[in-house]
Amino acid sequence: MTREAAIARAEDYFDSGALKTDLARLVAMPTESQNPERAPVLRDYLVKEMVPALEALGFACRLLEHPKARAPFLYAERIEDPALPTIFGYGHGDVIRGLDKDWKEGLSPWQLTEVGDRWYGRGVVDNKGQHVINIAALKAVLETRGKLGFNAKYLIEMGEEMGSPGLRELCAEQKELFRADVLIGSDGPRLNAERPTVFLGSRGGVTFDVTIDAREGGHHSGNWGGLLSDPAIQLAHAISTIVSPTGQIRIHEWVPKELPESVRRVLADCEVDGGPDGPTIDPEWGEPGLSPAEQVFGWCSFDVLAMKAGNPETPVNAVPPKAWARCQLRFVVGVDPEEVLPALRRHLARHGFTMVKVEKSRDEIFHATRLDPEDPWVTWAVGSIAQTTGKKPAILPNLGGSLPNDIFSEVLGLRTIWVPHSYPGCSQHAPNEHLPVAIAREALGLMAGLYWDLGTGKTPPV
């Protein structure tokens, strides 16, 4: 009944092939939350897979409905002693669209396939593989010690890839039921494949459309070119006022006033590396004076996700009547999300682009969150992971992407510590999503060690 025994039991789950078998069964369920036809599969994932797995560990499970959500939420709890710390876990079983035709030959989003040292399949990292690893680590501790030594609550949703509709409202309504001390969850990528990582929040994200609708229909460019305004040219110039030619944001409300010293300190030894399949960083792009890690984890970024004018597939000799672009701002703590679009409208008006219409492209805005990197729970978690792996974990103040983390930190009032089991080159949200098997095995051990340490009575005050 030792820490080492629990870790060995978790690693045996991998070595025996059981993790691969269980994950293959989950990957085969096409839980595409963006596809209305998959609604029955979303429910089946919870009822047929997650409920039995958690009930086998002594969790009491219930499905919670919300009118905004396409599928129910699964809430599970195991209360051993009200006096013990209560840890809140989170995962999501829905996945992004499979994009079946775009996968490499021999691969399918709905079949787990092992190629070399990787497992391919939709959801192996986002997020089925990650919460399955955590549940298996809980099981290893429970079977080794006979108890967890802490109280555990778990929430699994089926709409994260759609912006988690209903999650915020559910957490507000069930605040007492979900009451806990710390969230420990897994999502997103590590800093790199080799280095265990914790991140403490997420960047916020707002996606919006900018449009110029000049007139009805296109007009012959020979007869009308030079007489009619070209919305594509106007929109390109409007966008060029938002950022410099090297991507530096020019709207002061869109960036924080400063980069906190605690954030600089933890990022000082963090190197952004997407692995051999990752892109090459453009060193001259973005905010001057920041390291790549500070750019992604400490600052804000603006991108044009798509643009259209005329008919790109079959261009014709006509001045287009309309131009459109979908844009996105990723922002950190210190930027007011409610001020992002009003600030853009004022900025465009000052530059003479009053013809540009700005609209939010979806209702949900991810808010920026960040637990203090010097919080004692961060130090504790990093120490546990270092003890298990023999490696110094990277501490990221927040994920570069976005999660509904503010719901947990602000609505439920939880410290939030995320331990990701993926890496930047995993093709998350793209064809050929994959999980390196070395990460899977290491993650099982480090999570078993983390959960073991939670039950020793030596955690920081809550």
For residue 44, pLDDT over 90 is answered with yes
Three-point CA angle 99, 315, 221, nearest 5°: 150
Residue spans of the domains in the chain: they are 3-202+367-454, 204-256+300-360
Task: List the structure tokens of 73.
Answer: 């939420």
C-alpha–C-alpha distance, residues 110 and 30, integer Å: 6
| pLDDT, tens only, 123-166 | 999 999 999 999 999 999 999 999 999 999 999 999 999 989 99
* pLDDT top residue among 277 and 346: 346
- For residue 35, cis peptide bond before it (omega within 30 degrees of 0): no
Task: List the structure tokens of 91.
Answer: 């995962």
CATH dotted code for 204-256+300-360: 3.30.70.360
pLDDT at 71: 96
Distance of CA 246 to the CA centre of its chain: 26
459: enclosing H helix or E strand:
none
Task: Kindly tell me the burial class for residue 67, based on how many C-beta atoms sit within 10 Å of its own C-beta (0-12, 13-18, 19 or more).
Answer: exposed
Task: List CB contacts of 437: < 8 A, sequence separation 6 or more.
Answer: 14, 114, 117, 118, 119
pLDDT at 236: 98
Instruction: Report yes or no: 296 and 165 within 8 Å, Cβ to Cβ.
Output: no
Instruction: Report yes or no: 249 and 300 within 8 Å, Cβ to Cβ.
Output: yes
435: enclosing H helix or E strand:
strand 434-436
For residue 72, pLDDT over 90 is answered with yes
Task: List the structure tokens of 317.
Answer: 């000799």
| pTM higher than 0.75 | yes
What is the DSSP-derived secondary structure letter of residue 269? T
- At the top level of CATH, the class of 3-202+367-454 is alpha beta
For residue 402, pLDDT over 90 is answered with no
59: enclosing H helix or E strand:
none
323: enclosing H helix or E strand:
strand 322-331
Task: List the structure tokens of 131.
Answer: 């919460």
pLDDT at 17: 98
Task: Kindly tell me the burial class for residue 50, based on how many C-beta atoms sit within 10 Å of its own C-beta (0-12, 13-18, 19 or more).
Answer: buried
Task: List the structure tokens of 69.
Answer: 């959500």
Task: List CB contacts of 61: < 8 A, sequence separation 6 or more.
Answer: 50, 51, 54, 55, 74, 75, 76
Mean pLDDT (whole number) for 65-90: 97
For residue 365, pLDDT over 90 is answered with no
C-alpha–C-alpha distance, residues 215 and 218, integer Å: 8
Q: What amino acid occupies position 108?
A: S
